[in-house]
Chain A
Amino acid sequence: QKEVEQDPGPLSVPEGAIVSLNCTYSNSAFQYFMWYRQYSRKGPELLMYTYSSGNKEDGRFTAQVDKSSKYISLFIRDSQPSDSATYLCAMKGGGSNYKLTFGKGTLLTVNP
Chain B
Amino acid sequence: DAGITQSPRHKVTETGTPVTLRCHQTENHRYMYWYRQDPGHGLRLIHYSYGVKDTDKGEVSDGYSVSRSKTEDFLLTLESATSSQTSVYFCAISESEGVGPNTEAFFGQGTRLTVV
- Is B8's CB within 8 Å of the partner chain A? no
- Is B109's CB within 8 Å of the partner chain A? yes
Number of interface residues of B (CB under 8 A): 23
Q: Beyond A98-B98, A99-B58, is A45–B107 a contact (Cβ under 8 Å)?
A: yes
Chain B 41-61 residues near chain A, CB threshold 8 A: 41-45, 48, 58
How far apart are the CA atoms of A46 and B102 in the complex, in Å?
12
How far apart are the CA atoms of A92 and B100 in the complex, in Å?
11
Q: Of A41, A45, A105, which one neighbours B42 at CB under 8 angstroms?
A: A105
- Is A31's CB within 8 Å of the partner chain B? yes
Q: Beyond A42-B109, A88-B43, A105-B42, is A99–B103 a contact (Cβ under 8 Å)?
A: no
Q: Is the CB of B43 within 8 A of A44?
A: yes
Closest residue on chain A to residue B90 by CB atoms? A43
Q: Is the CB of B99 within 8 A of A51?
A: yes
Chain A 86-101 residues near chain B, CB threshold 8 A: 88, 90, 92-94, 98-100
Tell me the B residues contacting A by CB distance below 8 Å: 4, 40-45, 48, 58, 90, 97-100, 103-110, 112
